[in-house]
Each structure stands twice: as structure tokens, then as C-alpha cells.
Amino acid sequence: MGKTIIEVKNLHKKYGDFEAVKGISFDVYEGEIFGLLGPNGAGKSTTLEIIETLRDKTSGEVFVDGMNLDTSPNEIKKIIGVQLQTSGYYPSLNLVELITLFSGLYNEDVDPLALLDKVNLRDKAKAKFKEMSGGQKQRFSIATTLINKPKIIFLDEPTTGLDPQARRNLWDLIREIRNSGTTVVITTHYMDEAEVLCDRVAIIDSGKIIALNSPDHLVDELVASGFEKPKEVKQANLEDVFINLTGRELREE
């Protein structure tokens, strides 16, 4: 277990009279993949955007790599990578042009082709953003989070809407990013994904954290409480059938 790189203490967020985040506290350790799970409207994106310095909090304390969000937001921005909404990209620029544009904004000297290599998109260097598949767009948007060589990246539902191969391909990419030393904070609605990808998860419901631990530990706890699946679990599921029939390789022309 690494040192604490994000510390959230008693965080509250109100939108008018509505309290979307109701006093949550959690730590993220350096080098882990930390998952925020929870139904729509639970407050996941709000929490991420506050840590990312993109949204004001109502109260509470946030420290990122030891820096206080209240006093050092600009310093925090320099060490984090944030996935922008893909709709915000200039659709007619090609990938190299987009990376060059973003590098300029970050004032970073980046080799576009080396970056595209990292996310397996070098052969799409001259393709326009709008011409790519959903999985390629997500991989590209993850590449843009790496431009400023961040210590932490935040991914808000990066695999929503992707087919099973593209999803697995993204898991591999996220693991590679973590293995190269970057801490990853991710939200997802796919529990299978959280189970294989996340070192620890926080489950948020209606603005409160109701569980926080490793997926393995949470499952063991449920089993120890006497929970039993209503019927015999098969050794495979329909997704296994799909992957077995169609293969693991990506299908992106």
C-alpha cells in the first residue's frame, strides 16, 4: 500500500437546497486504481469534479498530493490528468493536431506519435477524431489525460457504451498506466469491471459512502453475512460466450 495521495474529509456539496454530497471522507493511495461506484445521481461526478478543481465544494477538506484544494488549486491542476468530455474535441482536427493543440495549452513538449503509441493509436495519427470508433475515442481521450505527465488521472465512466472487446482493451490500457506509476481514479457502472480493475472501491449512494474496501473483501463480507445466490452459478455467463465466439481482439477498422 502506497502513501495517501488524495485525502477527502467530510466533503459536502449543495446545489441550491439539494445536497448531492453529504459528508464523505476517503483516501486514495498512491499507485492504486480506486473506483467510485454508485447509481446514477449518487454524487460520483460531483465528487470527482471537486477534486479536479472544476467545481466548488460547499464544505469539507480535500488534499491532493499534500496540497490543499482551497489554497493550491493551480498546483493541483499541474499534477492531475482529467478526461474532457469527448464532445469538446475539434472534430475536424486529426489526432496529431489535437495532441499538439493540447500540449500547447498545457505548455508541455510532447511527441504526439509516442503518446499515440501508448494508447495503440499510432496508425490513426492522421485520422480525424470524428472518424474513430467509440473505443478509439475513449483511448484517445485517455491519452490526452497523460499529456502533462500527471501523478493521478481521473476517468469518469470511460467504458460506458463500449463493446466487450473495447472494454477489455481499455482495462489493459488503464492497468498499463497504473503500472507506469500513475494513480487512477475511475467511475463505472460495470461491477465486473470494478472487480477485475480496482484495488479498492467506494460505493456511494445518495451522496454517502456506504462501503469502502477491496472488491474481494466486500464480496467475502457479503458471503460471511450469510448471503447466498438464489440459484447455482454457472461456470460462464453470456459475456463469456460472446467473447469466446467473437474473440478478444479489437474490431476497429
Question: What are the residues binding ligand ADP (CB under 6 A)?
Answer: 15, 20, 38, 40-46
Residue number with CB closer to ligand ADP (42 or 152) = 42
Residue 45 found at the interface with Mg ion (CB under 5 A): yes
Query: Which residues are 167's β-sheet partners?
Result: none
Q: Which stretch binds Mg ion (CB under 5 A): 38-46, 80-88, 176-184, 188-196?
A: 38-46
From the CB of 38, what's the least distance to ligand ADP, in Å? 5
Cβ-contact 21, 43 below 8 angstroms: yes
From the CB of 208, what's the least distance to ligand ADP, in Å? 12
Q: What is the DSSP letter of 130?
A: G
Angle at CA of residue 136, ends 167 and 123, nearest 5°: 130
Residue number with CB closer to ligand ADP (98 or 155) = 155
Residue 181-220 contact track with Mg ion, rule CB under 5 A, x = bound? ----------------------------------------
Which residue's Cβ has the minimum distance to Mg ion? Answer: 45
Residue number with CB closer to ligand ADP (40 or 225) = 40
Residue number with CB closer to ligand ADP (36 or 184) = 36
Angle at CA of residue 77, ends 31 and 108, nearest 5°: 90
Torsion of CA 102, 177, 249, 139, to 10 degrees: -20
Helix (H, G, I), strand (E, B) or coil at 119: coil
Residue number with CB closer to ligand ADP (38 or 150) = 38
* DSSP line for 71-105: T-HHHHHHTEEEPPPGGGS-TTSBHHHHHHHHHHH
